[in-house]
Amino acid sequence: MSYSKSFYSLFIVFSFASTSSCYSSTNTTTHNKCSAEESHALILFKKSLFSINDTSYDWKCSGYHSILVNWNTSTDYCYWEGVTCDHSTNDVIGLDLSCGMLSGIIHPNNTLFHLRHLQKLNLAFNYFTSEIPGEIGRLSNSLTHFNVTDCWFSGQVPTEITHLHKLASLDVSLNMYKYLLGFTYPSEHYSSLKLLNLRDTTLQGKLPHDIFKLQSLETLDLSDNSFSGDIPWEISLLPKLVSLHLSMFNVIDYLRIQPHTFYSLLKNSTLSKDLSLSQGFLPNSLVNLRHLSGNIPFESFALPALKSLDLSRNQFDGQIYLFDQGLIVQAFQQLTNLPTFHLINLKASGSWRHCYQASQTLSNSVLDMSNNNFDGEIPKCFGNIISSLAMINLGNYSFHGTIPKVYRDCAGLEGLILNGNQLQGEIPSSLSKCQSLKVLDLGNNLLNGTFPIWLERLPNLQVLVLKSNKLHGIIETSSSTKLQFQSLWVLDLSHNGFSGQLPQKYFQNLIAMKRLKGAQNQNI
């Protein structure tokens, strides 16, 4: 009997050693013998999950594949896909299993939490049907980066996350949480945190004050949630902030910010490059700014590092004098790196009276100020702005008068959208200077005159919309023997007064349309 027990014990020891084998005959020159404990932990972690082929991840993951398929004990685990080791100790310090076709439940007793030296854990874009286990706190002495984007985790953010005092990056976005429990504690727990992403996590209610006490934060994304109430004044106390996203999603009670908090935020965020304040960030309550300036406080945007500014879909209803004299121009002159400026659906009103230095300020930028209540005429200096920008969208305004002529070379302009105004007169032929133009949308205006033949000289034009104007006459052709509209994909001339037939010469060579149709047929 004792012989049997001894033999059985020897068999167990041998079996464990063989399943945890760490040697690789080809790798012993560069690695010490790896840890049997960590090898065993990785194998059991693999066995706790299964592989799926969820096509919904295809567009999110460029390399979506079964990442654990080659994890086996015949090779050193430091060479397994997704595993990073410390070359001096062979400790596992990184696991990048993103887009790995993984599914299952990560139980509290999962051997994943036995990897005591793990510094970076990326499980993004997999399918786990559980809460984040509180045992994540066992990695408090090592974990610096934790990413579970779009993993289908639900329930509560475990309070044990506050034990991860070395975290520099925490991304739990695109999951479904009920409570924001992990961030109701003093900020000293996260003295190293630089990135916090809670985007689209179905969170609601008031924003916790403690999030804005994280002095080391550089990137903060709370967008696409249903937070409401006042934004804590502590938001202005983030001296290292580079990127801020507070755009809310499907909310009835808008997120609000008090004027003095807004001013302080803009004044102190001198390192900010990406500022997204759309969908309710600037609510009706900001009308209180009238007793300060009467306008959106552009003079506060002294953010020289800013590269993206989005104020769209808000409820501000004050006056804006676009690129006017004084503080507004001075503020924009400081935004030397700004390639994108949005004022979409701001519900603002006002007029465009001057341009001044706007052309130099917004050089090579995207200017999108559509769906507002601006009126009056577009000033003649608009032609100078066109020469500096890459995309202009002034759609759905109440602008009247004529489209100003282009005075300078506008080779960088790729899109011009003036749809939905009350513009009159002829389409200026000086737009032919914009040889890079891909999108020209002048629909739903009161433009008159004949079809602008010079459009055929725009070799890159892909979208041409002239519908619902007062254009008339026969569409004539030029004497040129070159192909016309060879890049065109979309053409809309409907609801005008054109007569006769469309010239065959114009439209028999629509190479781009033919190529698109052929590609669609191949996919059927």
Residue 270 binned pLDDT confidence (cut-offs 50, 70, 90): low
Q: Is residue 117 pLDDT above 60, yes or no?
A: yes
Mean of the per-residue pLDDT values of the chain: 74
Amino acid 61 reads C
In a domain, 474, yes or no: no
- Contact (Cβ atoms closer than 8 angstroms) between residue 278 and residue 249: no
Segments forming the whole domain that contains residue 38: 1-202
CA 156 vs CA 134, 144, 183, 186, 270: distances in Å: 10, 21, 12, 19, 35
**Could you give the angle at the alpha carbon of 157 between the alpha carbons of 156 and 162, nearest 5°?**
145
Q: Is residue 519 pLDDT above 90, yes or no?
A: no
pLDDT of residue 11: 37
Q: Is residue 366 pLDDT above 50, yes or no?
A: yes
Separation between Cα atoms, residue 385 and residue 396, nearest integer Å: 19
What total of structural domains would you count in the chain?
1
In a domain, 120, yes or no: yes
Amino acid 171 reads D
Q: What is the pTM of this model?
A: 0.62
In a domain, 389, yes or no: no
Specify the pairing of strand 176-179 against strand 204-205. unpaired
> Would you state the structure tokens that stand for residue 458, as one six-digit string?
């725009």
Q: Is residue 175 pLDDT above 50, yes or no?
A: yes
Q: Is residue 481 pLDDT above 90, yes or no?
A: no
Q: Is 317 helix (H, G, I), strand (E, B) or coil?
A: coil
In a domain, 248, yes or no: no
Q: Is residue 161 pLDDT above 70, yes or no?
A: yes
Separation between Cα atoms, residue 171 and residue 397, nearest integer Å: 39
Q: Is residue 20 pLDDT above 50, yes or no?
A: no
pLDDT of residue 135: 95
Lowest mean per-residue pLDDT among 14-18, 214-218, 287-291, 448-452: 287-291
Q: How many CB atoms lie within 10 A of CB 49?
A: 21
pLDDT of residue 320: 47
Q: What is the pLDDT of residues 84-115, one digit of tens each?
A: 999 999 999 999 999 999 999 999 999 999 99
In a domain, 36, yes or no: yes
Q: 162 in the Ramachandran plot: left (φ > 0), alpha (ψ -120 to 50) or beta?
A: alpha
Separation between Cα atoms, residue 488 and residue 507, nearest integer Å: 9
Q: What is the CATH number of the domain that holds 145?
A: 3.80.10.10
Question: Which residues are 471's β-sheet partners?
Answer: 449
Q: What is the pLDDT of residues 197-209, one digit of tens each?
A: 988 888 888 887 8
**467: number of CA atoms within 13 Å, CB side?**
9
Which of 173-182, 421-430, 450-459, 488-497 shows the highest mean pLDDT? Answer: 421-430
In a domain, 289, yes or no: no
DSSP codes joined into one string, 299-347: GG---TT--EEE--S----SEEETT-STHHHHHHHT-TT--EEE-TT--
What is the percent of the chain where pLDDT is above 70? 64
DSSP codes joined into one string, 149-173: TTS--EEEPPGGGGG-TT-SEEE--
For residue 371, the Cα-to-chain-centroid distance in whole angstroms is 21
What is the percent of the chain where pLDDT is above 90? 32
Q: What is the longest distance spanned by two Cα atoms in the chain?
A: 108
Q: What is the pLDDT of residues 419-463, one digit of tens each?
A: 999 999 999 999 998 999 999 999 999 999 999 989 988 889 989
Separation between Cα atoms, residue 8 and residue 4, nearest integer Å: 6
In a domain, 231, yes or no: no
Q: How many CB atoms lie within 10 A of CB 227?
A: 23
In a domain, 185, yes or no: yes
